[in-house]
Amino acid sequence: MTKPPFSAIIPVMKKLSEEHKRKIGEANRGKKRPYLAERNKSLWMRKKVSASKLGKKRPDISGKNHYRWNGGISIKQGRKTIFKPNHPFASNHGYVLVYRLIIEKHIGRYLKPEEIIHHKDEDRTNNNIENLQIMTNSEHISHHMKKRWKDPEYRKKMIKYNKLRPRDPKTGKLISHNSPLKSLAKII
């Protein structure tokens, strides 16, 4: 038995005029289209999942009722955090760094937004009160930069980097990356 030609199985579609397309659209407006049900179902599921992430929690399986709940303790980037959603500096998920809580309990107040905790031995997991020190962000950066400048390899690398950076021909000062003189430095 021979197969029928392809054009006999699937009729060739004629190009529709704009007028005809408009009439079809008006006739179908407001009607349910069952052939789109599967596509719309997957779209609905995506919307449902994203809505659940926007704070609509399921109390039967969230928090202490979840099978992976470990008392609200989590370790992120080597830092231990505890679930304290009412803390003024809690993350969006309600977690606070443990060393912040330790130092706050020690000094008897919340830390200010500009205060940073420095680990003296640079071990993030060592949260002993003797190892923690309150600093401002600028103090913390300068402390670590002074330490780096004592390293001869780091010093050589930074001196070489600064020699390669463009300088203002008149003053000899370094030109910042967003400076209007940047284009001038490229030419020179």
pLDDT single digits (tens) 41-94: 555 455 544 544 545 567 677 777 777 788 888 888 888 999 888 899 888 888
Question: Is a pLDDT exceeding 50 seen at residue 155?
Answer: yes
Task: Scan for tokens 């004629």, then name that residue.
Answer: 14
How far apart are alpha carbons 133 and 122 in whole angstroms?
A: 11
Mean pLDDT of 143-166: 77
Residue 120: partners with Cβ closer than 8 Å, 6 or more residues away = 130, 131, 132, 133
Q: Which of 50-54, 73-77, 127-131, 167-171 has the lowest mean pLDDT?
A: 50-54
Q: Which pair of tokens denotes residue 128?
A: 């002993």
Query: What pLDDT is attached to residue 181?
Result: 45
pTM recorded for the entire structure: 0.51
Query: What pLDDT is attached to residue 5?
Result: 56
Express each pLDDT in 12-26 by its tens digit: 566 778 888 888 888
3-state secondary structure the chain: CCCCCHHHHCCCCCCCCHHHHHHHHHHHCCCCCHHHHHHHHHHHHHHHHHHHCCCCCCCCCCHHHCCCCCCCEEEECCEEEEECCCCCCCCCCCEEEHHHHHHHHHHCCCCCCCEEEEECCCCCCCCCHHHEEEEEHHHHHHHHHHHHHCCHHHHHHHHHHHHHCCECCCCCCECCCCCCCHHHHHHC
Q: Which pair of tokens denotes residue 16?
A: 């529709």
Name the nearest CA neighbour of 79 among 106, 63, 99. 99
Query: What pLDDT is attached to residue 185?
Result: 44
Find the radius of gyration of the CA atoms of the chain.
32
Mean pLDDT of 29-47: 60
Query: What pLDDT is attached to residue 105?
Result: 94
- Give the CA diameter of the chain: 92
115 phi and psi angles, rounded to 5 deg: -90, 135
